Amino acid sequence: MLKLIKEAGVVGAGGAGFPTHVKADSQAEIVIVNGAECEPLLRVDQLLMVHEAPLLIRGLKALVQVTGARRGIIALKKKYQEAIETLTTHLEDGLELFVIDDYYPAGDEHVLVYEVTGRAVPQGGLPIQAGCLVQNVETVINVANAIDGKAVTDKCITVGGEFTARQTVRVPVGTSYAAVLDALGMSDLTGKVAINGGPMMGAVVSDWSTPVTKTTKGILVFPEDHSLVQEKMLSSHEVFRLARAVCVQCRYCTDLCPRYLLGHQLEPHMTMRGIKYSLADMEPNPSVFLCTECGLCEQYACIFGLSPRMVNSQLKKIYTQAGMKPRPAKDTTPIPMWEYRKLPVKRLISRLGIEQYNQPAPLTDLVIQSDLVVLPLKQHVGVPAEPLVAKGQQVTRGQQVAKVPEGKLGAAVHSSISGTVEDVTDRIVIRANGGGGR
Ligand code: SF4
Ligand code: SF4
């Protein structure tokens, strides 16, 4: 089963991109399907749980079997009523639903494991250290497809934001953002940018030729002068300058930090203090490696709009370049205030100023035809895949075009259309022979 998952190129589709054949090669007590989808505006997982329920159940059963788990649980939010009703009719012995409230970041693996099992994942550790394997909804569906011999060729994404025809669609991996938006009737992108993923953790993309990858969750179109975009576009120099000038050490960022509340030794206000007094230059602070960059401190907690998230992110890069490693995993005990400081997504949406975009984005059967796909050789955690094709070669949809290098962590890549290989560099470019290539 693991071999089939590896051959199909399955990786964490929720954004992490960790190769699934490696993650699932473990002994677990509980397999948890992460159906929390806590990023505002994204609809992928909640819709797939309705429309692909039988496949999801098959994928979950496969993961329960391969890990030797006793239980398989689909964790999803109370507000996903249609998914709850649909999945309930498909559940089998040994599989359960676990319903959670609508707060951010309910989809954080450490948060989800604690919510579902009451077990605290060690800080700096992985859910498997608490006996749990956590996989995103679309990943589990891809596992079921892999067992049927189907490789990952398409990605389900929500196309939304300032875009009236909001919908959730399946697109061939490698299709450009511009081609997706054009197919949905939005060709004038003047004054707009995209946020790749959700508004909290997603990055701003202004190059419309950027391809959809196996980890893209959404293309959210925003006016480039939207406050959310402006904040994400701040340079690290400006973020550090503001931190030094403005932080009043109120510690709201720490008091609301989900990882701090789970008992991790992460106190963003202390990192900001270090920046303020230039202590970070003198005494490296390894706690920054515990930051998941969920953005809650930056987008909600700090009344001045400062960004401990970006400070942590920059310090991680600086420390990694200097050879520093995260501390080993350590047992933690969540603090009692955790229960009372869960941030309702509704309140977060209001704070982000995105209420007008918080609309349904139904899953449609629209088949997006791609004339050209660009397949990066690294769409996953690990080393880039090794090309198996050369310029000028004909390939068919589903054909493996790059493999995992021997003995390395990585994922295979498959052609998402039928056509001719136009270029092979750190990406494989394939042009359809005609008729969109599918
Ligand atoms: S919430 Fe803002 S002002 Fe308060 S300690 Fe954190 S970064 Fe500083
Ligand atoms: S981004 Fe902020 S709130 Fe989120 S884990 Fe990091 S420090 Fe905590």
For 383-438, the pLDDT digits (tens) are: 999 999 999 999 999 999 999 999 999 999 999 999 999 999 999 999 998 755 56
Residue 283 has pLDDT above 80, yes or no: no
Nearest CA to ligand 2 atom 2: 297
Q: What is the mean pLDDT of residues 265-278?
A: 90
Task: Give me the residue spans of the domains in the chain.
Answer: 2-147, 234-334, 370-438
Q: How far is the CA of 249 from the centre of ligand 1 (A)?
A: 5
User: What pLDDT was estimated at residue 278?
Assistant: 74
Q: What is the mean pLDDT of residues 260-278?
A: 92
Nearest CA to ligand 1 atom 8: 247
User: What pLDDT was estimated at residue 435?
Assistant: 56
User: What pLDDT was estimated at residue 3?
Assistant: 97
Q: How far is the CA of 237 from the centre of ligand 1 (A)?
A: 18
User: What pLDDT was estimated at residue 164?
Assistant: 81
CATH architecture of 2-147: 3-Layer(aba) Sandwich (3.40)
Residue 123 has pLDDT above 90, yes or no: yes
User: What pLDDT was estimated at residue 15?
Assistant: 85
Best substitution site from 290, 312, 341 to test ligand 2's pocket, by max atoms within 8 Å of Cβ? 312
Q: What is the mean pLDDT of residues 258-274?
A: 95
- Residues 257 and 299: their CA atoms lie apart, in Å, by 11
For 328, the token pair is 């080993």
For 291-309, the pLDDT digits (tens) are: 999 999 999 999 999 999 9
Percentage of the chain beyond pLDDT 90 is 88
Percentage of the chain beyond pLDDT 70 is 98
Residue 34 has pLDDT above 60, yes or no: yes
Going by pLDDT thresholds of 50, 70 and 90, the confidence category of residue 366 is: confident
Task: Note the ligand closest to the C-alpha atom of 269.
Answer: 1
The span from the first CA to the last CA of the chain, in angstroms, equals: 27
Other C-beta atoms within 10 Å of 209: how many? 11
User: What pLDDT was estimated at residue 380?
Assistant: 95
Q: How far is the CA of 343 from the centre of ligand 2 (A)?
A: 13
Nearest CA to ligand 2 atom 4: 294
Residue 151 has pLDDT above 90, yes or no: yes
Going by pLDDT thresholds of 50, 70 and 90, the confidence category of residue 127 is: very high
For 136, the token pair is 């995103």
For domain 370-438, give the CATH number: 2.40.50
Q: How far is the CA of 1 from the centre of ligand 2 (A)?
A: 36
Task: Note the ligand closest to the C-alpha atom of 295.
Answer: 2
For 226-254, the pLDDT digits (tens) are: 999 999 999 999 999 999 999 999 999 99
Residue 321 has pLDDT above 80, yes or no: yes
Q: Which atom of ligand 2 is nearest to the CA of 268?
A: 7
Q: Are 293 and 309 in contact (CB under 8 A)?
A: yes
For 167-199, the pLDDT digits (tens) are: 999 999 999 999 999 999 988 899 999 999 899
Q: What is the mean pLDDT of residues 260-271?
A: 96
Pairing of strands 192-196, 103-104: unpaired
CB of 257 within 6 A of ligand 1: the answer is no
Smallest CA-to-CA distance from 173 within 27, 35, 17, 63 is with 17
Q: What is the mean pLDDT of residues 361-389?
A: 94
pTM: 0.95
User: What pLDDT was estimated at residue 284?
Assistant: 77
Q: How far is the CA of 81 from the centre of ligand 1 (A)?
A: 37
For 323-362, the pLDDT digits (tens) are: 888 888 999 999 999 999 999 999 999 999 999 999 999 9
Mean pLDDT, the chain, rounded, equals 94
Higher-pLDDT residue of 129 and 366 is 129
Residue 281 has pLDDT above 70, yes or no: no
Between 1.10.10.10, 3.40.50.150, 1.10.1060.10, 1.10.540.10, what CATH number should domain 234-334 receive? 1.10.1060.10
SS (H, E, C) the chain: CHHHHHHCCCECCCCCCCEHHHHCCCCCCEEEEEECCCCCCCCHHHHHHHHCHHHHHHHHHHHHHHHCCCEEEEEEECCCHHHHHHHHHHCCCCEEEEEECCEECCCCHHHHHHHHHCCCCCECCCHHHHCEEEEEHHHHHHHHHHHCCCCCCEEEEEEEECCCCCEEEEEECCCEHHHHHHHCCCCCCCCEEEEECCCCCCEEECCCCCECCCCCCEEEEEECCCHHHHHHCCCHHHHHHHHHHHCCCCCHHHHHCHHHHCCCCCCHHHHHHHHHCCHHHHCCCHHHHHCCCCCHHHHHHCCCCCCHHHHHHHHHHHHHHCCCCCCCCECCCCCHHHHHCCEEHHHHHHHHCCHHHCCCCCEEEEECCCCEEEEECCCCCCCCCEECCCCCCEECCCCEEEECCCCCCCCCEECCCCEEEEEECCEEEEEECCCCCC
Going by pLDDT thresholds of 50, 70 and 90, the confidence category of residue 363 is: very high
Going by pLDDT thresholds of 50, 70 and 90, the confidence category of residue 369 is: confident
